[in-house]
Structure 1
Amino acid sequence: MFLKFLFFVALFAVCETQSQIGNPKVFIRQVQRKAELLTRIPFDNLTNSVNHVKHVRDHLIKNYDEILDSVSVNQQCRKDLRDISSSNFSLNFKFWDSYAVPGTGFALFHTTFAGQPEECVNIKLDSSPVQSSFPDSGPFLVTFKVHTGLQLSLGTCMPLSCSNSQVARVFKYALHELGVNTEWVVADGREKFEATGAFITAVVVFGIILLLITVATTSNMLSKLNEIYKNGIQKDAGYNREFSVQLDDDRRNEQTVNQDEPIVNLDPVSSFLSLADRFLKCFDFYANFTKILTIPTKSSPGQQFPVLNGIRVLSLGWVMIGHTILVQTFMSDNFLYVYERGKNLLFQTIMNGTPSVDSFFVMSGLLVMYGSLKTMETLPNPTFGNPKFWIMFYVHRLIRLWPTILLTILFVVGIFPQLAPVFYSTFYQNELNTSLVGLCSGTKWMPTAFFFNNLDNPSQSCINWTWYVANDVQFFIISPLFIVAARMNKLWGYLSIGAVIAVNTLLVLKASGVNRAPPGDGGGAFVNPDIVNDFDFTTSWATERLYFSPYCRFQTYGIGLILGLALYQRDQIKSFFDRTPVVPRVAMIWGLWAFGFLCGIICVYGCYPYANGGHMGVWAAAFYNATFRVLWGIFLSILILLCNLGYGGVINDILSANFWIPFARVNYTTYIIHLMLLQMYAMTLEQDFHFTTLNYTLTASGLLMCLNCLGLVCSCIIEAPFIQLEKLILVGKMR
């Protein structure tokens, strides 16, 4: 029964691939939601469909003329297809040999077959007269869903004169002739380049940014070289010390002579040139890169909580490791192996990785509360602030977030479709409405750009992994209510935040219980086959609301606000510890550490017994759903508080180490671009990934380092220039 369950679940595992990767839980829910329906499909029907599909290539070879007479395609496509069928054996063989033929591995969830795309592209390698007349061909991925529910993706080779829709019609007709009734057929191919409006806009915008960066960086480097030359320390120039000193004397004499010349007032021009120079410096790649790598002193502004640097980088690493295993799962030819590994304690850490996002909610709430309270101390009205402060409170946030998100969306809709020639894998499916490009087409990008893509069908939103940013912005919008309450009275601040957390927790508890939602968003519990019968995956609460909605995710942000208020009163807390006798103080500190780690362990591994065959009732799962994020927030808050008070020991030394700082500074940009880059990496794979623990470990480690480094570079290009522009325009100073 267990293997039968796995096999039937596998048949939908490839469904809606790109739309699910933004969040691991969405993919898991989609698979689980189909499982019960699939168990009612006769096994014979499935095997018959697979056997028929295996013969589609042979059917095309033998019946091309008949198929072309029955399908509507353009004249050039029709001519090219006939030329291929009548070409010499060598070329004809290469063409058909590149086609994918469904093979073994269905029991391991292998439902995508790439074929040999390079063989298709390289048919015309030599320049012989016969071969030069062979039509230009390229790989197409044909994805179709048969009436039994089975979805397959096959790599094919077709003339580039044929459009995606025409290739789909050819295969739909061929499958119908074989007796395979399809619900839909979609083809994704290497269509000819088309300069769309989105592409032109993207080229212009990115071209202007790169031009500014090039000019600014070149100007800065030439200026530095000029300074080196003036100071006489450029050793390779061949100047000796006497000549250098004499040259300096000559320059001073020239300056003395020039002092007697009349001075012309060029203030307007000088002001404009000065402003233009400062504007250009905002895009100086070298200066921005150096600033990111600079290690600040402990007394520098923004270094009150160095422990956050390590938490940021490790939490994002946790996110990226989880997304890497998802991408590899979609591309693997042995999904069953990945499924079985999910019972392992180490893999449970990855499968239950959603608290990694809550780490950022805690840190965001902490910094918003602490930073605002500190800034308001200096205002004429420290309790309520003033209009200018609150306007800049929101403006700064938008300037911080918008450039990276908007430019990423522009890249997806403008540049990404034109990269088709380098995407060979079965993961490349731009024609699907649920593809990365399809979800950002038209006006679908607007909810993401304006930070409300977490409210309505978030799993189908543009770059849907930015649902976290939308939540964070919405929490940020209401945070002044708690900040002002805390300025008026500290107790009011604690009580108001605590009340909202309590309401949020009760809402999650009731919604989970009433809707029979799976524990921990179904993450680590997914590997228990009884989960389909024990819990319900058909409600919007179970599939999206509990995970994406702000009214279900405020808990850890609220804990961060409380922590920020507590750290604002750090001196009182530190004084309390100092006044406590040594033995009770040590017991208190060790007790806090033990309690914190216990909360963290329960949060991450609470589903481990159930994943390995244990039992969990509906309301027990509801209680876990209502509390496991709170437990993670408590663990993280205790860790940050004790490290800041000086009781962190080796944990504080590791998390506060300087080597985290550069990657922590570019954390936001890395998060926004990482999943897009992971998908691009997957799309370049010609063959499916064979998953093993060692393969995954090596690949994930390499990708983790590459993504952080690319995030650093992209931050210098996208994020850092606009941060500097904000300082120039709003603050009136640079660096």
Structure 2
Amino acid sequence: MKFLCIFLVLILANFVNSDYKDLIHQMVKNAAKSENKTECDKALNKLLNNILHPKLDDLWGYKMIDSSSSIIPDGILLGNFGSMGNFEECLSIVSKDHTIKGQYCLKLVLPIPNLDKEFKELADGLIGYPVALCVPRQCSAEEINEKYKLFPDSHFYCHTEENRYPPMTKGVIATICFLCTMGLMMVLSTAYDVYCRQNGKAPASPALIAFSVYTNTLRLMDTKNKSDLSCISGIKFFSMIWIVLGHVFTGYLVSPFMNLIDILDYEKTTRAMFQHGTTFAVDTFLCLAGLLVVYNFLQAMQSGKKFNIFLFYLHRYLRLTPALAALILVTVYLLDYMGSGPRWALMRELFQKQCEKYWWTSLLYIQNYANEQNNICLSHTWYLSVDTQLYFFSPILLILLWKYPTAGITLLISATFGSMVAVAYLTYEYKLPALYNSILIWANLKDFTAKYYFKTHTRMSAYLIGAIAGYILHVLKGKKYHISRKLLLVIWTAMLALMLGCIFAGHDTMLGPEYRKWDHVFYNTFVRPTWSIFIAWMVVACVLGHGGIINSFLSNKIFQVLSRFSYSVYLIHFVEICLWELSRKTGVYFTEVGMLFDFWGHFMFSLIISYIWVLAFEAPVTALEKLLLR
């Protein structure tokens, strides 16, 4: 917090006695010294003349002043980073003779140009102070940088009405045609399906109704076939909600907030740990994935089915890839047309450019190792690479557990401890924090994701513990044994205590004034395996009849339906959140109540879009796969 206060005071000191006219005078003075007058120089002279000699019917110069940000906005010492002028007013400016049009230029600045490189990267991403100028469009970003000498280390990003949306390319047209074709197939398939139902006829081929909105919706809403593992539906649903909540707060880090200090104060509170702990939701999904792979395989083998490794891999790829590929296609070619604003260039950097370069590593599920540093197409989908890589190697474990159970369990336990040792070493060696948090100025946040958070070998303990739980379920299912109510109460109490401990235990470590290496090593090494043990126990207890009211709640039919949208919600929600935050054109005031409203808005919108995504890219593929493999 002291760092931020110093930062804000430095900004204030740099901007004292500066205003827009001073800056314009400075740029015009620089233009006057230039021997070769450029179009920008001429336009700046016109701007100064219009300001000094205004005409009532042609006040475009004053509109440029009005739409530029205040050099010293109110509340700067509270962390007002939301003063960005008026984007739309600037772009709408046209002089009476049509020779001058408005251009909005935004610069994110730091008060000390020669900051340490790593610290500068952190500060640029989190607290770059916005300075917005509305200038004639004849001036390029490079010319503005040259003429506007204040803070030369940072760069202006400029927008005009003409370049708000890029021209349509062949890729854009092809993507639109593809989506229209998918929509047409859904309409035709639905029409044929309804026709057959109304006339009491069977479809000529089930493939003809694979894209039917009507039939696929009925399948999505069906809750008649109750699974032994129905509690997993509730766990998946609430884990998905938790992930969305965490990403809503992550989205705030790129938002133009007017009270950044209040946000950082909130991050220090105990209740904020519930949001910092949303990373455990990913471990929940990994644990469930390992459990389901092992349990389903062993149950299938016990029933006499044969294991086909080709179909095993094909099913996985077809389950994940169509919906992901469609989102990548939309991100690369259509994202530019979904919004605009002062910070929209960051949206292109975070999503579009990454996917243009690294789309293929996403579709091969190797991006967490193949890509440079943190350059991942749709960064939140790193989890898919981890899960798929573990799934790819799982047949080794599956065959061992079926034929040589002791060897299989030994391998699972050994690999789990091996992963924990790797985490301990990396945390110790690279000074990794226990939590990825914007207030941890002393921590190595850059390596946290690149070396630890995104890597399969450091995240696989949850999957392996889930696999052990899947084996235990297979062995104990259908067998009679007795556990006293007192013992169950003790175990449940201990497990719930572990859960709360995982969420809140990192609070004191996070708030430490300096990096306490062994605290972070201990936390990172044990917290995710501990969380996974809690999830594994909850599933095993619920399936074996020891879940009580918890099992009844998690197995509710509504969660069976909602959990079927979890994959598409997972894919879509983070893009939607960033799209919303980075298209903001005015500052936002943070409150905890406002955050909850934002969360529910984002979640419900993502759920609606995911319904369309499931009907277009998940349900039809599932239906066609069943037809091909039956």
Q: TM-score, normalised by structure 2?
A: 0.87
Q: CA deviation at 1:460?
A: 2.0
Structure 1 residue identity aligned to 2:252 = Q
Q: CA deviation at 1:457?
A: 3.7
Q: Residue 254 of structure 1 corresponds to which residue in structure 2? A: none
Q: Residue 353 of structure 1 corresponds to which residue in structure 2? A: 278
Q: Residue 459 of structure 1 corresponds to which residue in structure 2? A: 374
Question: How far apart are the structure 1 equivalents of 2:219 and 2:33?
Answer: 65
Q: Residue 663 of structure 1 corresponds to which residue in structure 2? A: 562
Q: Does 1:405 align with 2:319?
A: no
Which one of the candidate residues 284, 293, 301 is aligned to 2:212? 284
**Which protein shows a greater Rg?**
1
Q: Residue 229 of structure 2 corresponds to which residue in structure 1? A: 305
Q: Residue 557 of structure 1 corresponds to which residue in structure 2? A: 463
Q: Does 1:705 align with 2:621?
A: no
SS of 2:368's equivalent in the other structure is coil
Contact (CA 8 Å) 2:576, 2:602: kept in 1 or not?
no
CA gap 1:187/1:280 in 2 versus in 1, 3 angstroms = farther
Question: How far apart are the structure 2 equivalents of 1:57 and 1:722?
Answer: 61
Contact (CA 8 Å) 1:109, 1:335: kept in 2 or not?
yes
Contact (CA 8 Å) 1:83, 1:134: kept in 2 or not?
no
Q: CA deviation at 1:622?
A: 0.8
Q: CA deviation at 1:618?
A: 1.7
Spell out the pairing of 1:506-521 with structure 2 (5 A cutoff).
506-519=421-434, 521=435
Which one of the candidate residues 236, 240, 244 is aligned to 1:316? 240
Contact (CA 8 Å) 2:108, 2:154: kept in 1 or not?
no
Consecutive unaligned residues of structure 1, counting only runs of 5 or more, are 12-42, 125-129, 231-269
Q: Does 1:209 align with 2:182?
A: yes
Q: Does 1:592 align with 2:491?
A: yes
Question: How far apart are the structure 2 equivalents of 1:539 and 1:205?
Answer: 38
Spell out the pairing of 1:569-588 with structure 2 (5 A cutoff).
569-571=475-477, 574-577=479-482, 585-588=484-487
Contact (CA 8 Å) 1:108, 1:334: kept in 2 or not?
yes
Which one of the candidate residues 221, 224, 244 is aligned to 1:293? 221
Q: CA deviation at 1:131?
A: 5.2
Q: CA deviation at 1:403?
A: 0.9
Question: How far apart are the structure 1 equivalents of 2:260 and 2:400?
Answer: 52
Contact (CA 8 Å) 1:467, 1:548: kept in 2 or not?
yes
Q: Residue 551 of structure 2 corresponds to which residue in structure 1? A: 652
Which one of the candidate residues 383, 397, 403 is aligned to 1:468? 383
Contact (CA 8 Å) 1:59, 1:174: kept in 2 or not?
no
Structure 2 residue identity aligned to 1:576 = Y
CA gap 1:566/1:427 in 2 versus in 1, 3 angstroms = farther
CA gap 1:500/1:218 in 2 versus in 1, 3 angstroms = same
Question: How far apart are the structure 2 equivalents of 1:560 and 1:537?
Answer: 30
Q: Residue 118 of structure 2 corresponds to which residue in structure 1? A: none
SS of 1:113's equivalent in the other structure is coil
Question: How far apart are the structure 2 equivalents of 1:152 and 1:614?
Answer: 25
Q: Deviations over 1:66-113 (max 9, x none)?
A: 6499599996x8887777775744343334311222324443443453
Which one of the candidate residues 392, 409, 412 is aligned to 1:494? 409
Spell out the pairing of 1:71-220 with structure 2 (5 A cutoff).
86=50, 88-102=57-71, 103-123=73-93, 133=98, 137=102, 139-143=104-108, 147-149=113-115, 151-157=128-134, 167-176=140-149, 179-188=150-159, 190=161, 191=163, 193-220=166-193
Question: How far apart are the structure 1 equivalents of 2:516 and 2:570?
Answer: 36
Identity %: 21
SS of 1:459's equivalent in the other structure is coil
CA gap 1:312/1:50 in 2 versus in 1, 3 angstroms = farther
Contact (CA 8 Å) 1:365, 1:557: kept in 2 or not?
yes
Q: CA deviation at 1:549?
A: 0.9
Q: CA deviation at 1:201?
A: 2.8
Q: CA deviation at 1:451?
A: 0.9
Contact (CA 8 Å) 1:112, 1:154: kept in 2 or not?
no
Q: CA deviation at 1:636?
A: 0.7
Question: How far apart are the structure 1 equivalents of 2:271 and 2:416?
Answer: 31
Contact (CA 8 Å) 2:573, 2:603: kept in 1 or not?
no
Q: Does 1:621 align with 2:520?
A: yes
Question: How far apart are the structure 2 equivalents of 1:367 and 1:650?
Answer: 23
Q: Residue 374 of structure 1 corresponds to which residue in structure 2? A: 299
Question: How far apart are the structure 1 equivalents of 2:500 and 2:43?
Answer: 62
Q: Residue 344 of structure 2 corresponds to which residue in structure 1? A: 428
* Greater shift in the superposed pair: 556-565 or 213-222: 213-222
Q: Deviations over 1:213-241 (max 9, x none)?
A: 222233334555556xx9xxxxxxxxxxx
Question: How far apart are the structure 2 equivalents of 1:68 and 1:324?
Answer: 48
CA gap 1:614/1:90 in 2 versus in 1, 3 angstroms = closer
Structure 2 residue identity aligned to 1:575 = K
SS of 2:334's equivalent in the other structure is helix
Q: Residue 359 of structure 2 corresponds to which residue in structure 1? A: 445
Q: Deviations over 1:228-270 (max 9, x none)?
A: xx9xxxxxxxxxxxxxxxxxxxxxxxxxxxxxxxxxxxxxxx9
Q: Residue 418 of structure 1 corresponds to which residue in structure 2? A: 337
Q: Deviations over 1:158-211 (max 9, x none)?
A: 56x66xxx53123202322xx542244433555153122431332222222122
Structure 2 residue identity aligned to 1:59 = L
Q: Deviations over 1:674-703 (max 9, x none)?
A: 100111111332212210111112221222
Q: Residue 444 of structure 2 corresponds to which residue in structure 1? A: 537
SS of 2:261's equivalent in the other structure is helix
Q: CA deviation at 1:537?
A: 1.5
Q: Deviations over 1:365-403 (max 9, x none)?
A: 1111111112223457x6xx3xxx110000011111111
CA gap 1:119/1:68 in 2 versus in 1, 3 angstroms = farther
Question: How far apart are the structure 2 equivalents of 1:378 and 1:286?
Answer: 34
CA gap 1:616/1:62 in 2 versus in 1, 3 angstroms = closer
Q: Deviations over 1:337-360 (max 9, x none)?
A: 111112322211101221111000
Q: CA deviation at 1:646?
A: 1.5
Q: Does 1:718 align with 2:624?
A: no
CA gap 1:141/1:549 in 2 versus in 1, 3 angstroms = same
Consecutive unaligned residues of structure 2, counting only runs of 5 or more, are 116-123
SS of 1:551's equivalent in the other structure is helix
Q: CA deviation at 1:608?
A: 2.1
Q: Residue 38 of structure 1 corresponds to which residue in structure 2? A: none
Q: Residue 395 of structure 1 corresponds to which residue in structure 2? A: 314
Question: How far apart are the structure 1 equivalents of 2:195 and 2:21?
Answer: 61
CA gap 1:69/1:414 in 2 versus in 1, 3 angstroms = farther
Which one of the candidate residues 24, 27, 33 is aligned to 1:60? 24
CA gap 1:189/1:683 in 2 versus in 1, 3 angstroms = farther
Question: How far apart are the structure 2 equivalents of 1:118 and 1:518?
Answer: 41
SS of 2:129's equivalent in the other structure is strand
Structure 2 residue identity aligned to 1:6 = L
